Amino acid sequence: MELTNISTVKDILSRHGFSFSKKLGQNFIIDPSICPKIAEMGNAGEGFGILEIGTGIGVLTKELALRADKVAAVEIDKGLLPILDETLAGMENIHIINADVMKCDLRRIIEEEFPGLRTAVCANLPYYITSPVLMLLLESRLPIESITVMVQKEAAQRLCAKVGTREAGAITAGVSYHGTARKLFDVSRGSFIPSPNVDSAVIRIDLNKEPLLDEETEKLFFRIVRSGFSQRRKTLSNALSSLMGIEKSVTQSILRELSISETVRIEAMDMDQLILFTKKLKEQE
Ligand code: SAM
């Protein structure tokens, strides 16, 4: 079945009485060139188990399953299950899990679904939960090698920005801490049914094999990042003083030690500076 043929898609959706949910971010890909590219650039291949988030009618799921050893796909909408039975019929290496990804035990899913396989994530993410899903995937220290996802174009810019530049935010620091992100290609709004109001882009994050900091220092790093960026117009010392109760003199003396201006804002600090600052602050606790 041709899942990017618009009349085939409309036919199957209407036969099953399916209507799109805006709330669940349901915009399905109908451009035939996109899913094969996501699969190929996203590690779907021999020896890999792929975790997909949000199947829609299975257009990407199918391309992943044609290349990888196994696909486990989490889909929240029960109404899509009978459709997937039809669109993915005969493909034995796919397991659909009907659940909310934010409530799943992803570690258990990976262990149970992909024994002996390497793991990667590929998805056309529901945009309303892009950041929470990415932070969940990154912060859970899962045995994942890469995350290849379609996100809104603006989100892609932020996620792939360099820490220390104006485009960066807390999520940029989170991604840079855990790995390396790059944009793969743009996708226009006309590539979806229904067509969303924004353009999209596919990005890939390659995850570090080892964490940069021990668990306690890592927690401190993320508290600093969240506090600093939630008051990004303030100096770092003011932001950390008001949100974390850290004496301004402590922050300022560490900054001096690192040859960074005492009046620096977090948005001007690069990744190395943020890591060094965190380590020094941890030493003083
Ligand atoms: N992969 C399909 C495609 O590319 O055509 C569908 C992508 S669509 C942008 C997002 C999908 O995520 C929808 O099928 C939606 O029902 C599902 N979804 C939304 N929220 C979810 C959640 N919390 N957990 C799992 N799936 C979710």
CB of 212 closer than 8 Å to CB of 225:
no
Q: Domains of the chain (ranges plus CATH)?
A: 6-207 (3.40.50.150), 215-284 (1.10.8.100)
What pLDDT band is residue 168 in, cutting at 50, 70 and 90?
Answer: very high
pLDDT of residue 1: 84
Q: Is the pLDDT of residue 4 over 90?
A: yes
Give the closest residue (by CA) to ligand 1 atom 19. 24
Report CA(27)–ligand 1 centroid distance (Å). 8
Report CA(51)–ligand 1 centroid distance (Å). 13
Report CA(209)–ligand 1 centroid distance (Å). 28
pLDDT of residue 40: 98
Q: CA–CA separation, 7 vs 212, rounded Å?
A: 50
Q: CA–CA separation, 158 vs 264, rounded Å?
A: 21
Q: CA–CA separation, 177 vs 168, rounded Å?
A: 13
Q: Which atom, in ligand 1's list, is nearest to the CA of 123?
A: 1
Q: What is the pTM of this model?
A: 0.95
- Residue 39 is encoded by which pair of tokens? 């699969």
Q: Pick from 77, 84, 151 the residue to mutate for probing ligand 1's pocket: most ligand atoms within 8 Å of its CB.
A: 77
Q: State CA 89 to chain mean position distance.
A: 29
Across 47-53, average pLDDT? 98
How are strands ordered across the β-sheet holding 48-53?
A: 94-98, 70-75, 48-53, 118-124, 146-152, 200-207, 179-187
Would the CA dihedral through 7, 9, 13, 19 be positive or negative?
Answer: negative
CA angle 11, 151, 197 (to 5 degrees): 65
Q: CA–CA separation, 268 vs 171, rounded Å?
A: 15
Residue 9 three-state SS: helix
Residues flanking ligand 1, CB < 6 Å: 24-29, 53-56, 59-60, 74-77, 100-102, 124, 126, 129
Report CA(62)–ligand 1 centroid distance (Å). 15
Distances (CA, A) of 69 to 49, 58, 265, 284: 6, 17, 47, 49
pLDDT of residue 97: 98
Kindly provide the residue ranges of all beta strands, DSSP E only, lying in the chain, ordered along the sequence: 28-29, 48-53, 70-75, 94-98, 118-124, 146-152, 179-187, 192-193, 200-207
Strands 200-207 and 146-152: antiparallel
Report CA(52)–ligand 1 centroid distance (Å). 9
- Amino acid type, 30: I
Q: Helices 170-178 and 215-230 sit at what angle, rounded to 10 degrees?
A: 160
Q: Pick from 60, 75, 137 the residue to mutate for probing ligand 1's pocket: most ligand atoms within 8 Å of its CB.
A: 75
Give the closest residue (by CA) to ligand 1 atom 22. 100
Query: Which of 21, 16, 15, 60 shows the shortest CA–CA distance to 41?
Result: 60
Across 147-167, average pLDDT? 97
Q: CA–CA separation, 225 vs 279, rounded Å?
A: 13
How far is the first Cα of the chain from the last one, in angstroms, to the nearest whole number? 61
Q: Is the pLDDT of residue 255 over 90?
A: yes
pLDDT of residue 285: 83
Phi, psi of 202 (to 5 degrees): -105, 130
Percent of the chain with pLDDT over 90: 98
Report CA(40)–ligand 1 centroid distance (Å). 20
Tell me how long the chain is. 285
Tens digits of residue pLDDT in 169-226: 999 999 999 999 999 999 999 999 999 999 999 999 999 999 999 999 999 999 999 9
Give the closest residue (by CA) to ligand 1 atom 3. 28
Percent of the chain with pLDDT over 70: 100
Report CA(266)–ligand 1 centroid distance (Å). 34
Q: Pick from 3, 8, 28, 62 the residue to mutate for probing ligand 1's pocket: most ligand atoms within 8 Å of its CB.
A: 28
Q: Which atom, in ligand 1's list, is nearest to the CA of 30?
A: 5
Q: CA–CA separation, 36 vs 195, rounded Å?
A: 20
